[in-house]
Structure 1
Amino acid sequence: MQELAGIINRMKHHPRLELTVNENCQVAVPPDILEKLLQPHKLSFYYFVFLEEGSETYKIDLQDITIAGSQLIFGLPNQIFCNPTQVHHYPNYKVGFDESTLALLPNSFPFLLNPLNTNTITFDPEAKERVKSVFSNLFQLLHTKGKPPKTEIVLAHLNTLLTEFNSAYFEQSNQVIVANPKLNKYIAFKLAVETHLTEQHDVHSIAEKLNMTTSSLYGVVKEFAGVSPKEWMTNRLMLEAQRKLQYSNFSVKELAYELGFNDPDYFSRLFKKYTGKSISTYLAEHHD
């Protein structure tokens, strides 16, 4: 398992931005980086692949995800990601950037919290053409010889691109975030948990932070995630445990404390209940 902290800096295509944009693999990736990207690796940046035609299968957090033409797949920081290894690649655009670049954009993008628990976006024909056009313009901006483009122009294109992604993400599930206060609350719940993931929140304290009752929070999380808030938080911690085991050699005790559990034995039982495997068995199967 590869942990690629800082790799976006080596691949960046602008002197002032941690940003990489590629069109049909025209810009070669250094061989040592490419070798790592073709293996499962922990993302340290946001990564998007837009496929014009054909189909390709990626792996995110140990799950195979196939996208076809007019679809996009995205990986988020800390997710375990693996690119397809086939020799032939279909026409595509790729963009990657880190938190520092995202912080420079004027808009916020709720889809980056993945509230609908899907790492794919499907575009209608009109949106597909707009996304392709913005991608193409951004690629040309960054890769035309001469003086580097102004930072604000590059950021304007990136902001437009993410706005298209955000809109299509919610439209594909018929969720309009502006007009859906329940969805806004669910996103706020996810953000509250993610911001302090290892603090072992209790449902009551999170409900208070969100100005909700525990029963109303339960209803919102159950509607969008299919589980209770407590189950959602436990599932999220177990996913984080699996991620950490992919690229680290923690002992059971170290991993338990790392994730905020005071009782390693309880953590071990919880992990086995969630995955169906003991930590030692999981490590033996997934470490290469």
Structure 2
Amino acid sequence: MQEQKEKYDGLPYDALGIKIRSDANPYLSAELQKKLLEPRKLSSYFIVLIESGSITYNIDEQDFTLTDGHLLFAMPNQFFIPPAKSRDLKYFKLLFDENILALLPQQFPFLANPLYGQTMAPEPAAKERITKVFGILNQLLYLDKVETDTEIILAYLNTLLSELNSAYFKNRETGNSLNANLSKFIEFKLVVETHLTEQPSIPAIAEKLALSTNSLYRIVKEYSGTSPKDFLINRLMAEAQRKLRYSNLSIKELAFELGFNDPDYFSRLFKKSTGKSASDFLPGQDLSGK
């Protein structure tokens, strides 16, 4: 592969935009290992397969414990707290960015997490195939001394994501197809994520998606259990909680950064949504803005 010369979630990565690690191919630098344990907002997709052992990740303030054969995936903009590596853990970790997805021949709806399940436990036959493809990617990217054609690497990545997409939707009501409603919900989530701090109106989002407001409401309610307005508010409040926990912004600064013109309104909305006042979210931290 080409010489490493860019950054990926704060870490070096291949110019192609894919990074893979395993228990047999860990980060060797002590400084890099320390950096890996720092909480961060993901700028890439992250997938981990646990072959054997047990470990717990924290994503968006939620713990996910993985054991033999389990997978976890996370998306850009999610807040990620990686765990210290446990002993005797066998695993593969994969990171890749949006530019890589644009090079693949198909879409993978599971990456937008429309059914709100970030873990998978594939059936034995699928797990065996998935593990083999992880191993092949690890070999192509890091073990082979001869540079591999990009097309081959992308072909195996496409195979891996196809397997994971099938495992995600298997035995779920929506099936494995990207139906029209699911496609629109994924588009809705992407619009919210991309324009979060602009706080677009629901009618504006509906117009962007070529939907009526009633149709948008029905689709978002079907896949998230909430209205589009509540979905947007919940996403803003999740972002606010991360900022309060991991930045030194005052409440006033945070309100403006999230697109609120009135910090007092932001504080009231935060209290209503989370049950806690912003100033009490992290005891001992000065959030007064003075």
Same fold (TM over 0.5): yes
* Match of residue 208 from structure 2: 209
Q: Deviations over 1:13-32 (max 9, x none)?
A: x4x31222122243334212
Q: Deviations over 1:254-273 (max 9, x none)?
A: 21121111111101111122
Q: 1:27 and 1:110 mapped to 2: Cα distance?
A: 30
Single out whichever of 135-144 and 165-174 deviates more from structure 2.
Answer: 165-174
Q: Which runs of 5+ in 2 are unaligned?
A: 1-5
* Match of residue 123 from structure 1: 122
Q: Which amino acid aligns with 1:31?
A: A
CA contact (8 A) 2:22 2:91 kept: yes
CA contact (8 A) 1:8 1:98 kept: no
Pick closer, same or farther for the CA change 1:56–1:87 going to 2, 3 Å: closer
CA contact (8 A) 2:165 2:176 kept: no
Q: Deviations over 1:208-252 (max 9, x none)?
A: 333333222222212211111111110011111122333322222
* Match of residue 148 from structure 1: 147
Pick closer, same or farther for the CA change 1:181–1:44 going to 2, 3 Å: closer
SS of alignment partner, residue 282 of structure 2:
helix
Q: Deviations over 1:49-108 (max 9, x none)?
A: 101233321111111111222221112222221222253142211111233333333322
* Match of residue 281 from structure 1: 280
For residues 171-210 of structure 1, the aligned pairs below 5 Å read 171=170, 173-178=172-177, 180-210=179-209
Q: Which amino acid aligns with 1:45?
A: S
Pick closer, same or farther for the CA change 1:205–1:7 going to 2, 3 Å: closer
SS of alignment partner, residue 147 of structure 2:
coil
* Match of residue 77 from structure 1: 76
CA contact (8 A) 1:245 1:283 kept: yes
CA contact (8 A) 1:79 1:243 kept: no
Pick closer, same or farther for the CA change 1:63–1:181 going to 2, 3 Å: same
* Match of residue 6 from structure 1: 7
* Match of residue 62 from structure 1: 61
CA contact (8 A) 1:113 1:187 kept: yes
CA contact (8 A) 2:251 2:278 kept: yes
* Match of residue 105 from structure 1: 104
- In the superposition, the TM-score normalised over structure 2's length comes to 0.87
CA contact (8 A) 1:11 1:29 kept: no
CA contact (8 A) 1:177 1:184 kept: no
CA contact (8 A) 1:46 1:76 kept: yes
* Match of residue 257 from structure 1: 256
* Match of residue 3 from structure 2: none
- TM-superposed CA distance for 1:181, in Å, is 2.6
Q: 1:215 and 1:6 mapped to 2: Cα distance?
A: 43
Q: Which amino acid aligns with 2:93?
A: K
SS of alignment partner, residue 107 of structure 2:
coil
For residues 88-103 of structure 1, the aligned pairs below 5 Å read 88-103=87-102
* Match of residue 21 from structure 2: 22
- In the superposition, the TM-score normalised over structure 1's length comes to 0.88
**How many residues are treated as equivalent by the alignment?**
281
- TM-superposed CA distance for 1:42, in Å, is 2.1
SS of alignment partner, residue 216 of structure 1:
helix
Q: Which runs of 5+ in 1 are unaligned?
A: none
Q: 1:253 and 1:272 mapped to 2: Cα distance?
A: 15
SS of alignment partner, residue 47 of structure 2:
strand
Pick closer, same or farther for the CA change 1:276–1:285 going to 2, 3 Å: farther
Q: 1:245 and 1:91 mapped to 2: Cα distance?
A: 35
Greater helix proportion: 1
Greater relative contact order, per chain length (Cα 8 Å cut-off, separation 6+): 1
